[in-house]
């Protein structure tokens, strides 16, 4: 079961955007400054999450492949006996 990279990354980037803009507004920054910083944070978070989900998918694929190979080896070993 692979994870959908784009939807997860976009969802987290949007949450990061609004969270960082809220923090900026509470801190007393101007709206333009909040927007720039929030956009930069959202882009960075999108890139980070995209890379992280791709790594997780690679680990899942590797685990599934190893599991299937082990099952086939067990079946081959059982049929030889």
Tokens of 12: 């987290």
CA geometry: angle 45, 35, 33, nearest 5 deg: 115
Stretches where the chain sits below pLDDT 70 are 1, 80-81
Domain residue limits, the chain: 5-80
CA-wise closest residue to 31 among 39, 21, 41, 40: 21
| Token pair 């082990």 in the structure block, residue | 70
pLDDT at 41: 96
The pTM of the full predicted model, rounded to 2 decimals, is: 0.80
CA-wise closest residue to 34 among 52, 49, 19, 54: 19
Are 38 and 21 a contacting pair, CB within 8 Å?
yes
| Alpha carbon distance 73, 59 (integer Å) | 21
pLDDT at 3: 81
């Amino acid at each position: 079961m692979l994870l959908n990279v784009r939807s997860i990354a976009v969802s987290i980037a949007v949450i990061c955007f609004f969270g960082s803009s809220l923090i900026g507004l509470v801190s007393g920054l101007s709206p333009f400054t909040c927007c720039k910083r929030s956009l930069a944070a959202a882009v960075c978070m999108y890139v980070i999450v995209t890379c992280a989900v791709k790594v997780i998918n690679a680990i899942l694929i590797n685990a599934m492949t190893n599991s299937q190979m082990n099952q086939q080896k067990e079946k081959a070993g059982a049929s030889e006996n």
